[in-house]
Structure 1
Amino acid sequence: MSAQNSAGIQTLLDAEREASKIVQRAREFRTKRVKEARDEAKKEIAEYKASKEDEFKKFEAEHSKGNEAAEQEANKEAEKQIEVIKEAGKKNQATVVKNLLDAVFEVKPVAA
């Protein structure tokens, strides 16, 4: 009977070792699969990011042309207005200087 018990115990130990090996292989497989999934997800994210960056660059290129034209037009308009102001300054410069000198040199006392 002892031989049968010993053989039965040995069979159970062998089965436990086999089960342990199967569990270990399953863990290794799961770990490997998780790593693969993570790497695949990183790759997809990088591709998606690159795609969106390309879309943004195209969008920016299309819309910056309109901004450049508007900016140039605004600069031209500003230059025109500056020229008008300069011309007005040159035209009235002598009168302004004369009025300032008159105000400084001709004192008119006022009762307060």
Structure 2
Amino acid sequence: MASQQSQSIQTLLEAEKEAAKVVQQARQYRVQKLKDARTQATKEIEEYRKFKEEEFNAFEASHAGTTQTAQQVTDKETEVKRAEIAEQYKDHKDAVVKKLLDRVILVTPELHRNLKKRD
């Protein structure tokens, strides 16, 4: 009976060693799966980043012409406005100068309304 007990104990110890090996293998498997998942996720993120960069570059390229066109339109409008202002200046220059000179030269002296005469 003692030999049967020691054999049972030996069997249990071997089973425990086998279970420890299985647990160790499971841990290694889990660690490897986590590493693989992390590597795969990094790869997918990099691919997505490249895709979005290409998409942005295409968008930027397609709208670059629009910016140049808008700049040209704005330049033309500015030139038209400048020409209008120059024309108005040329038309009204003499009248404005005459009004300024009249105000400066033709002064009519009068007493200020707040100044009272002393009697």
Indicate whether the TM-score tops 0.5: yes
> Displacement of 1:73 after TM fit?
1.5
For the residue of structure 2 that corresponds to 1:107, the secondary structure is coil
2:47 counterpart of 1:79: no
Q: Give the aligned partner of residue 13 of structure 2.
A: 13
Q: Which has the higher helix share?
A: 1
- Cα distance change, pair 86–110 in 1 and its aligned pair in 2 (3 A): farther
Q: Give the aligned partner of residue 92 of structure 2.
A: 92
- Cα distance change, pair 57–110 in 1 and its aligned pair in 2 (3 A): farther
What count of residue pairs does the alignment treat as equivalent? 112
> Displacement of 1:43 after TM fit?
0.7
Point out the structure with max Rg over C-alpha.
2
> Displacement of 1:50 after TM fit?
0.8
> Displacement of 1:58 after TM fit?
0.7
Structure 2 residue ranges without an equivalent (≥5): 114-119
User: 1:1-112, aligned counterparts within 5 Å?
Assistant: 1-108=1-108, 109=110
Structure 1 residue ranges without an equivalent (≥5): none
Q: CA RMSD of the aligned region, Å?
A: 1.9
- Cα distance change, pair 83–21 in 1 and its aligned pair in 2 (3 A): same
Aligned residue identity for 2:86: K
For the residue of structure 1 that corresponds to 2:107, the secondary structure is coil
| TM, length-normalised to structure 2 | 0.82
